[in-house]
Amino acid sequence: MSDTPVIGVLALQGDVREHLIALASADALARPVRRPEELAEVDGLVVPGGESTTISKLAALFGLLEPLRERIGAGMPVYGTCAGMILLADKILDPRSGQETLGGIDMIVRRNAFGRQNESFEAAVEVAGIDGGPVEGVFIRAPWVESVGAGTQVIAEHGGHIVAVRQQNALATSFHPELTGDHRIHAYFTEMVRAVG
Ligand code: GLN
Protein backbone atom coordinates (compact mmCIF):
# COMPACT_ATOMS: atom_id res chain seq x y z
CA MET A 1 0.00 0.00 0.00
CA SER A 2 1.24 3.50 -0.73
CA ASP A 3 0.92 6.26 1.83
CA THR A 4 -2.55 6.97 0.53
CA PRO A 5 -4.73 3.99 1.43
CA VAL A 6 -7.70 3.03 -0.72
CA ILE A 7 -10.81 3.04 1.46
CA GLY A 8 -14.14 1.82 0.15
CA VAL A 9 -17.60 2.88 1.26
CA LEU A 10 -20.21 0.15 1.09
CA ALA A 11 -22.55 1.80 -1.41
CA LEU A 12 -25.78 -0.19 -1.25
CA GLN A 13 -27.88 2.36 0.66
CA GLY A 14 -27.33 5.20 3.12
CA ASP A 15 -25.14 8.28 3.32
CA VAL A 16 -22.39 7.04 1.00
CA ARG A 17 -21.50 10.38 -0.61
CA GLU A 18 -20.84 12.12 2.71
CA HIS A 19 -18.38 9.38 3.72
CA LEU A 20 -16.59 9.56 0.36
CA ILE A 21 -16.12 13.31 0.86
CA ALA A 22 -15.00 12.92 4.50
CA LEU A 23 -12.47 10.21 3.56
CA ALA A 24 -11.05 12.29 0.72
CA SER A 25 -10.60 15.17 3.19
CA ALA A 26 -8.80 12.73 5.49
CA ASP A 27 -6.23 11.91 2.78
CA ALA A 28 -7.59 8.56 1.70
CA LEU A 29 -8.45 7.47 -1.83
CA ALA A 30 -12.18 6.87 -1.42
CA ARG A 31 -14.31 4.63 -3.63
CA PRO A 32 -17.82 3.21 -3.59
CA VAL A 33 -18.04 -0.59 -3.21
CA ARG A 34 -21.01 -2.46 -4.65
CA ARG A 35 -19.49 -5.66 -6.00
CA PRO A 36 -17.14 -8.34 -4.64
CA GLU A 37 -14.48 -7.33 -7.22
CA GLU A 38 -14.55 -3.78 -5.87
CA LEU A 39 -14.29 -5.03 -2.30
CA ALA A 40 -11.17 -7.02 -3.22
CA GLU A 41 -9.41 -3.81 -4.27
CA VAL A 42 -9.78 -1.74 -1.09
CA ASP A 43 -7.48 -1.60 1.93
CA GLY A 44 -10.29 -0.68 4.34
CA LEU A 45 -14.05 -0.19 4.30
CA VAL A 46 -16.65 2.16 5.77
CA VAL A 47 -20.14 0.79 6.38
CA PRO A 48 -22.37 3.89 6.32
CA GLY A 49 -25.48 4.94 8.18
CA GLY A 50 -28.82 4.25 6.60
CA GLU A 51 -31.13 1.37 7.35
CA SER A 52 -29.34 -1.71 8.60
CA THR A 53 -32.02 -4.18 7.47
CA THR A 54 -32.00 -2.74 3.94
CA ILE A 55 -28.20 -2.75 3.75
CA SER A 56 -28.00 -6.37 4.92
CA LYS A 57 -30.67 -7.51 2.45
CA LEU A 58 -28.96 -5.71 -0.43
CA ALA A 59 -25.57 -7.13 0.62
CA ALA A 60 -27.08 -10.62 0.38
CA LEU A 61 -28.63 -9.80 -3.02
CA PHE A 62 -25.36 -8.43 -4.40
CA GLY A 63 -23.41 -11.51 -3.23
CA LEU A 64 -21.44 -9.40 -0.76
CA LEU A 65 -22.41 -10.95 2.57
CA GLU A 66 -19.83 -13.76 2.58
CA PRO A 67 -17.01 -11.75 0.93
CA LEU A 68 -17.55 -9.00 3.52
CA ARG A 69 -17.51 -11.47 6.41
CA GLU A 70 -14.37 -13.08 5.04
CA ARG A 71 -12.43 -9.83 4.67
CA ILE A 72 -13.53 -8.49 8.05
CA GLY A 73 -12.60 -11.84 9.61
CA ALA A 74 -9.19 -11.64 7.92
CA GLY A 75 -8.51 -8.28 9.58
CA MET A 76 -9.44 -5.69 6.94
CA PRO A 77 -9.93 -2.39 8.81
CA VAL A 78 -13.59 -1.49 8.93
CA TYR A 79 -15.54 1.47 10.32
CA GLY A 80 -19.32 1.42 10.85
CA THR A 81 -21.48 4.47 11.61
CA CYS A 82 -24.99 4.06 13.03
CA ALA A 83 -26.58 1.38 10.79
CA GLY A 84 -22.97 0.39 10.03
CA MET A 85 -22.38 -0.11 13.76
CA ILE A 86 -25.40 -2.42 13.87
CA LEU A 87 -24.01 -4.41 10.93
CA LEU A 88 -20.62 -4.85 12.63
CA ALA A 89 -22.14 -6.18 15.85
CA ASP A 90 -21.70 -9.86 16.58
CA LYS A 91 -25.18 -9.70 18.11
CA ILE A 92 -28.23 -7.43 17.77
CA LEU A 93 -30.57 -7.32 20.73
CA ASP A 94 -33.76 -6.75 18.73
CA PRO A 95 -33.17 -7.87 15.13
CA ARG A 96 -35.93 -7.55 12.57
CA SER A 97 -36.90 -10.93 11.21
CA GLY A 98 -34.33 -12.12 8.72
CA GLN A 99 -31.89 -9.36 9.67
CA GLU A 100 -28.29 -10.54 9.39
CA THR A 101 -25.15 -8.85 10.57
CA LEU A 102 -21.65 -8.99 9.17
CA GLY A 103 -20.21 -9.20 12.66
CA GLY A 104 -16.63 -8.41 13.57
CA ILE A 105 -17.02 -6.59 16.86
CA ASP A 106 -17.70 -8.51 20.05
CA MET A 107 -20.61 -6.38 21.27
CA ILE A 108 -24.36 -6.46 21.65
CA VAL A 109 -26.14 -3.53 20.00
CA ARG A 110 -29.64 -2.19 20.58
CA ARG A 111 -31.26 -0.63 17.50
CA ASN A 112 -33.11 2.73 17.74
CA ALA A 113 -32.01 2.73 21.35
CA PHE A 114 -32.47 6.39 22.23
CA GLY A 115 -36.21 6.06 21.71
CA ARG A 116 -38.90 8.05 19.93
CA GLN A 117 -38.70 11.11 22.20
CA ASN A 118 -35.09 11.44 21.29
CA GLU A 119 -35.02 10.27 17.68
CA SER A 120 -32.44 12.77 16.46
CA PHE A 121 -30.18 15.01 18.47
CA GLU A 122 -26.70 16.41 18.65
CA ALA A 123 -24.30 16.22 21.56
CA ALA A 124 -20.64 16.90 22.22
CA VAL A 125 -18.89 13.54 22.62
CA GLU A 126 -15.40 13.00 23.98
CA VAL A 127 -13.76 10.15 22.06
CA ALA A 128 -10.64 8.42 23.42
CA GLY A 129 -7.82 8.69 20.89
CA ILE A 130 -9.27 11.78 19.18
CA ASP A 131 -7.33 14.91 20.15
CA GLY A 132 -8.57 18.46 20.02
CA GLY A 133 -11.71 18.34 22.15
CA PRO A 134 -15.06 16.60 21.80
CA VAL A 135 -16.58 15.78 18.43
CA GLU A 136 -20.08 16.91 17.53
CA GLY A 137 -22.13 13.71 17.70
CA VAL A 138 -25.08 13.67 15.30
CA PHE A 139 -27.44 10.90 16.42
CA ILE A 140 -30.23 9.85 14.03
CA ARG A 141 -32.40 6.98 15.25
CA ALA A 142 -29.13 5.79 16.67
CA PRO A 143 -28.24 2.48 18.27
CA TRP A 144 -26.21 2.17 21.45
CA VAL A 145 -23.96 -0.63 22.59
CA GLU A 146 -25.57 -2.62 25.35
CA SER A 147 -22.43 -4.54 26.31
CA VAL A 148 -18.97 -5.41 24.98
CA GLY A 149 -16.72 -8.44 25.21
CA ALA A 150 -13.29 -8.43 26.84
CA GLY A 151 -11.41 -7.55 23.63
CA THR A 152 -13.58 -4.56 22.74
CA GLN A 153 -12.53 -1.13 23.95
CA VAL A 154 -15.17 1.48 24.79
CA ILE A 155 -13.93 4.80 23.36
CA ALA A 156 -16.98 7.02 23.93
CA GLU A 157 -20.13 7.20 26.02
CA HIS A 158 -23.11 9.52 26.00
CA GLY A 159 -25.66 9.72 28.82
CA GLY A 160 -24.22 6.59 30.39
CA HIS A 161 -24.49 4.57 27.16
CA ILE A 162 -21.67 3.27 24.97
CA VAL A 163 -21.66 5.10 21.62
CA ALA A 164 -18.22 4.28 20.17
CA VAL A 165 -16.00 1.20 20.32
CA ARG A 166 -12.86 -0.24 18.84
CA GLN A 167 -11.79 -3.86 18.56
CA GLN A 168 -8.41 -4.20 16.86
CA ASN A 169 -9.04 -3.19 13.23
CA ALA A 170 -12.73 -2.50 13.66
CA LEU A 171 -14.23 0.83 14.71
CA ALA A 172 -17.88 1.79 15.22
CA THR A 173 -19.79 4.91 16.26
CA SER A 174 -23.52 5.35 16.96
CA PHE A 175 -23.27 8.84 15.53
CA HIS A 176 -22.43 10.34 12.12
CA PRO A 177 -19.13 12.28 11.89
CA GLU A 178 -19.51 12.36 8.10
CA LEU A 179 -22.31 14.92 8.50
CA THR A 180 -20.38 17.51 10.49
CA GLY A 181 -17.43 18.65 8.40
CA ASP A 182 -15.12 17.56 11.24
CA HIS A 183 -13.04 14.78 9.71
CA ARG A 184 -10.98 13.75 12.74
CA ILE A 185 -12.63 10.34 13.09
CA HIS A 186 -12.18 9.62 9.38
CA ALA A 187 -8.53 10.67 9.76
CA TYR A 188 -8.22 8.31 12.75
CA PHE A 189 -9.69 5.47 10.67
CA THR A 190 -7.40 6.29 7.72
CA GLU A 191 -4.48 6.00 10.16
CA MET A 192 -5.80 2.56 11.26
CA VAL A 193 -5.81 1.45 7.60
CA ARG A 194 -2.33 2.85 7.03
CA ALA A 195 -1.04 1.01 10.11
CA VAL A 196 -2.16 -2.36 8.71
CA GLY A 197 -0.52 -1.76 5.33
N1 GLN B 1 -32.17 3.00 12.93
C2 GLN B 1 -31.41 2.65 11.78
C3 GLN B 1 -31.23 1.14 11.68
O4 GLN B 1 -31.71 0.43 12.49
C5 GLN B 1 -30.06 3.33 11.79
C6 GLN B 1 -30.22 4.80 11.56
C7 GLN B 1 -29.02 5.45 10.95
O8 GLN B 1 -28.12 4.82 10.39
N9 GLN B 1 -29.03 6.76 10.98
O10 GLN B 1 -30.60 0.68 10.77
The Cα 72–Cα 68 span in angstroms is 6
* Mean of pLDDT values over 10-28: 97
pLDDT of residue 197: 76
Decide: 13 in ligand 1 pocket, CB within 6 A: no
Q: What is the mean pLDDT of the chain?
A: 95
34 is in an annotated binding site: no
Classify each residue of 94-132 as buried b or exposed e, where b means 16 or more C-beta atoms within 10 Å of its C-beta: ebeeebbbbbbbbbebbbebbeeeeeeeeeebebeebee
Among 3.40.50.880, 2.40.37.20, 3.40.50.300, 3.40.190.10, name the CATH number for the domain at 6-196.
Answer: 3.40.50.880
- Identify any residues that bridge with 143 across adjacent strands, giving them in sequence order: none
Report the pLDDT averaged over residues 20-32: 97
Determine the pLDDT at residue 3. Answer: 81
Does 52 show up as a binding residue in the annotation?
A: yes
* Domain range annotation of the chain: 6-196
Average pLDDT over residues 86-114: 92
pLDDT, position 2: 62
Q: What percent of the chain has pLDDT over 70?
A: 98
pLDDT at 163: 98
By annotation, the residues acting in catalysis are 82, 176, 178
**How far away, in angstroms, is 112 Cα from ligand 1 center?**
7
* Ligand 1 contacts CB of residue 179 (under 6 A): no
Is the distance from the beta carbon of residue 84 to the nearest atom of ligand 1 less than 6 Å? no
